[in-house]
Chain A
Amino acid sequence: RKEVEQDPGPFNVPEGATVAFNCTYSNSASQSFFWYRQDCRKEPKLLMSVYSSGNEDGRFTAQLNRASQYISLLIRDSKLSDSATYLCVVNDSTLTFGKGTMLLVSP
């Protein structure tokens, strides 16, 4: 059974803070990883892919450690609009989602 585990939430941070989310996955053969965000009662939206060498998209940085089967997402200078649930997702032709970690950014 494929499992994706994430930090329990919620994370409450002030605007401007840096916050990190962690995720582990069970299938060592998995090749493809993503972070999605989901606003309350909305659809998951692709935030970014996660590449082996690590990748950055503006304030967001994703890292992958295949040996530890560990994925992370770092958000720098957090904004109020970053408040959402962040979903760690493993793609083995179908998507396996983590339960998500809720982020609440306050003024």
Chain B
Amino acid sequence: EPEVTQTPSHQVTQMGQEVILRCVPISNHLYFYWYRQILGQKVEFLVSFYNNEISEKSEIFDDQFSVERPDGSNFTLKIRSTKLEDSAMYFCASSEEGGGNQPQHFGDGTRLSIL
């Protein structure tokens, strides 16, 4: 069964450094998403992406965050200057189509630890 893959599985970074989290969505999917889950809390939406542009973003997704689809397969989340509170699991997801009825399939996440 096709799956969303994410790298790295664990990233440890000093506060203030930039990090790039990578995702390869399912190949025929057109809609891509990033979510995060702080330890012990609920999964939270960050951003959705379609046709090479952001279609929706949450209030969490401020100016320190950016997303990019640099080639035909990768979808990246960049955090420019990391803070301690950015420590969380970051999940990439993709769906075949947009809209409410399409289930989103999640990658197994990147655990980001900011020191």
Contact = CB atoms under 8 A, between A and B. Distances in A.
23 contacts: A31-B100, A32-B100, A42-B108, A42-B109, A43-B91, A44-B91, A45-B106, A46-B103, A49-B101, A49-B103, A87-B43, A91-B103, A94-B45, A94-B48, A94-B56, A94-B58, A95-B35, A95-B45, A95-B93, A97-B43, A98-B42, A99-B41, A100-B42
Interface residues on B, range: 20 to 34
Contacts of A97: 42-44
Given A44-B43, A100-B42, A95 B91 contact: no
Interface string B73-115: 0000000000000000101010000111111111111010000
A75 B1 CA distance: 25
Contacts of B105: 46
A96 B108 CA distance: 19
Nearest to A90: B100
A34 B93 CA distance: 15
Contacts of A94: 33, 45, 48, 56, 58
Contacts of B44: 97
A107 B78 CA distance: 45
Nearest to B56: A94
Interface of B: 33, 35, 41-45, 48, 55-56, 58, 89, 91, 93, 98-109, 111
Contacts of B43: 38, 44, 87, 95, 97
Contacts of A81: none
B101 A31 contact: yes
Interface string A84-107: 000100011111111110000000
Interface in A49-107: 49, 87, 91-100
Contact of B100 (A41, A43, A92): A92
Contacts of B42: 97-100
Interface in A11-53: 30-32, 34, 38, 41-46, 49
